[in-house]
Amino acid sequence: MSILFSGRASSGASAHKISLGRRFVMFWVNHVRQALFSLGELWRTPSASILTIGVLGVSLTLPATLHLLVKNVQQVSDSFTQAAEISLFIKDGTDDRQINSLLKILQADNDITRVTHISKQQALDEFADVSGFGSALTYLTDNPLPDVLLVLPKNTSAGSARQLLERLSKERIVEFGKLDIDWLTRLDAIVSLLRQAVLVIAVLLLGAVLLIIGNTIRLSIMSKKDEIEVMKLVGATDAFIQRPFLYSGVWFGVFGGLLAFLIVEAMLWWLQGAIGSVTSLYDSEFRLMAFSVTEFFSLMLLAVLLGLTGSYLSVRRHISAIEPTGP
Amino acid sequence: MLEFDQVSKSYPGGFVALDRVSFKLEKGEMAFLTGHSGAGKSTLLKLISLIERPSVGRVLINEVDLSRIRRPHIPYVRRDIGIIFQNHRLLMNHTVFDNVALPLVIEGFSGKDMVKRVHAALDKVGLLDKVRCLPQTLSGGEQQRVGIARAVVNKPPLLLADEPTGNLDPDLSKDIMRVFEAFNQVGVSVLVATHDLGLVARMKYRTLTLKQGKMINDGLLQYQEDPL
């Protein structure tokens, strides 16, 4: 494109002899070349690059870890649907016939999935087994434990379980009913609080990352001030000058994201043993969940976008500010 | 080709760098621009390369008024003007080839076409054997010739040079001027700013002389001694 000399087209790259297809290919070839060139630039200034990548990586690690924490806690809380189980304690001295008839009524109830009867004797045996008071319990003259009916509601949400509890507590032979759902609602509240805290911390850290990348790119622009002036004097557009810096930002993102991923993976590997020994104590099947493929790519995408945005903000301000001062 | 029409340039604070300067440079013409430092030579070249804008008057290249060129289009105008700098302004950490290829890369050239043009430009200034060198390893005259090769590699119709022989000894200066002459002979308009009056007088080309921003002479410089 020549503004001054309309007959000069043949000297430009837009010359008619270059076909559209070839120009399209060259466009991408040039981009790949510039991307690799920017990678080389990072390599040539290792200390500054490593610092920036390190900051980016560590800053991304915290939100990523918190995200995994929330995800794992949620997994735990999801496995506690049985927490909506209602325990009905039967009045002392009720005979087995009455209990069995109530059992049959409840089994036929549409709101109830499952009813289990734990008799006084079963309860005592289990208690003797688990508590370790085995021999001491033989000194008891009679069994102090009540019969218990365990009722699992169809709808395990806190509200409907509580309604069912109220209804069942009115049964004549029921002493009282107990529903351990409060701690579940509390856990849910804590998880959602945690999730919001993660969001706030993530936003703050990502803001810091933007500033850090912007500053690194700014320094890199300043150190190339002369070069940029010369490029402007021989007719480079701002877009052309910007491109390598934008690619630097992208590379910061790629490496920062990978670093964050590796740190989190290392942390998981480190914690796996400790968590394993804790969960085995609770007889739990709990497994620490790592990143899924989607999450990995989201992390990388986020990191690259941060790098690109940070460098774009910096480049837009500083490249147009550099003007050649004279031939 | 290049026309100044009553151009004045004053800077904030009241300093007048150019005062109603008018001249015309035809297509394929070569001319010298002389004057003491501070006479306005650099300002005049800055107005042509759109580093500065005139306060009053019009600068036209090929009948196009430069005041009509908006900022985003300035790079495209500069691609039509080859500029040679006194301190040659090469990229010191890039090879001679990369330096000369820079304007072509900016215009989107690549591959064989680019290599061919770079080699042709270096051949014209006699530095084809230094393609892979870094500028630091070259002498001052050679560096200046690399700067010239860079300015002409995309075959601009107009060539500006600001004190191209400023740091060179007389023999080297003559060589550089021969290179400009050679380009002029193939139809490029050339404007060379220099204070080397001896050289200017020997070359017998049209000479524009500036004094305190005013054009005081336009024509052949007849005398060897300082006219200012």
For the segment A185-225, what is each residue's pLDDT rounded down to a tens digit? Answer: 787 788 788 888 888 988 998 898 889 889 888 988 988 88
Question: For the range A37-41, what are the long-range contacts, defined as Cβ-Cβ under 8 Å and sequence gap of 24 or more?
Answer: A37/A244, A37/A247, A38/A244, A38/A245, A38/A247, A38/A248, A38/A250, A38/A251, A39/A247, A39/A251, A41/A220, A41/A244, A41/A248
B103 assigned to some structural domain: yes
How far apart are alpha carbons A73 and A70 in whole angstroms? 5
Interface membership of A121 toward B (CB under 8 Å): no
Contact call for B89 and A236, based on CB within 8 A: no
| Structural domains of chain B, count | 1
B112 assigned to some structural domain: yes
Contact call for B154 and A30, based on CB within 8 A: no
pLDDT for A79: 65
Nearest to B143, CA basis, from B189, B101, B91 = B91
Of the candidates A11, A230, A325, the beta carbon closest to that of B154 is on A11
Among all chains, which residue has been given the structure tokens 């400023």? B166
**Is the confidence at residue A309, as pLDDT, over 50?**
yes
Contact call for A5 and B62, based on CB within 8 A: yes
Predicted confidence (pLDDT) per residue in B30-73, tens digit: 999 988 888 888 889 889 988 889 999 999 988 888 888 888 88
Contact call for B80 and A323, based on CB within 8 A: no
Amino acid letter for position A252? F
Question: In 10 A of CB B82, how many CB atoms?
Answer: 27
Tokens of A263: 């740190």
Of the candidates A1, A233, A240, the beta carbon closest to that of B78 is on A233
Alpha-carbon distance B180 to nearest alpha carbon in chain A (angstroms): 17
Smallest CA–CA distance from B93 into chain A, residue = A227
Please give the radius of gyration of chain A, using alpha carbons only, rounded to the nearest integer. 34
Tokens of A212: 């850090």
Interface membership of A324 toward B (CB under 8 Å): yes
B211 assigned to some structural domain: no
Interface membership of A26 toward B (CB under 8 Å): yes
The strand pairing partners of A89, in sequence order, are A148, A176
Of the candidates B72, B106, B160, the beta carbon closest to that of A234 is on B106
B102 assigned to some structural domain: yes
Predicted confidence (pLDDT) per residue in B131-189, tens digit: 898 999 988 888 888 999 999 898 889 999 988 887 778 888 888 888 889 889 988 89
A94: which DSSP letter?
A: -
Predicted confidence (pLDDT) per residue in B99-115, tens digit: 999 998 888 777 788 89
- Reduced to 3 states (helix: H, G, I; strand: E, B; else coil), residue B217 is strand
Q: Choosing among A23, A25, A234, which should be mutated to test the B contact, i.e. which has the most B CBs within 10 A? A: A234
Contact call for B80 and A4, based on CB within 8 A: yes
B81 assigned to some structural domain: no
Question: Containing domain of residue B108, as a range?
Answer: 93-150
Q: Which residues contact B112 (CB under 8 A, 6 or more apart)?
A: none
Question: In 10 A of CB A10, how many CB atoms?
Answer: 11
Tokens of A202: 């993530």
Question: In 10 A of CB A286, how many CB atoms?
Answer: 16
Q: Which residue has the higher pLDDT, B155 or A14?
A: B155
Q: Which residue has the higher pLDDT, B217 or B25?
A: B25
Smallest CA–CA distance from A225 into chain B, residue = B91
Alpha-carbon distance A210 to nearest alpha carbon in chain B (angstroms): 27
Q: Which residue has the higher pLDDT, A283 or B53?
A: B53
B8 assigned to some structural domain: no
Contact call for B80 and A234, based on CB within 8 A: no
Contact call for A327 and B83, based on CB within 8 A: yes
B130 assigned to some structural domain: yes
In B, which residues are within 8 Å of A327 by CB distance? 42, 45-46, 49, 51, 83-86, 160, 162
pTM of this prediction?
0.73
Smallest CA–CA distance from B148 into chain A, residue = A234
Dihedral over alpha carbons A231, A237, A243, A244 (to 10 degrees) = 0
How far apart are alpha carbons B196 and A99 in whole angstroms? 120
Counting one residue from chain A and one from chain B, the pairs whose CB atoms sit within 8 A come to 94
Residue B185 vs residues A75, A91, A92, A236, B30: alpha-carbon distances, Å? 82, 118, 121, 28, 9
Contact call for B150 and A226, based on CB within 8 A: no
| A238 φ/ψ angles, rounded to the nearest 5 degrees | -60, -40
Average pLDDT, integer, range A301-308 = 92
B181 assigned to some structural domain: no
Q: Which residue has the higher pLDDT, A127 or A250?
A: A250
Interface membership of A12 toward B (CB under 8 Å): yes
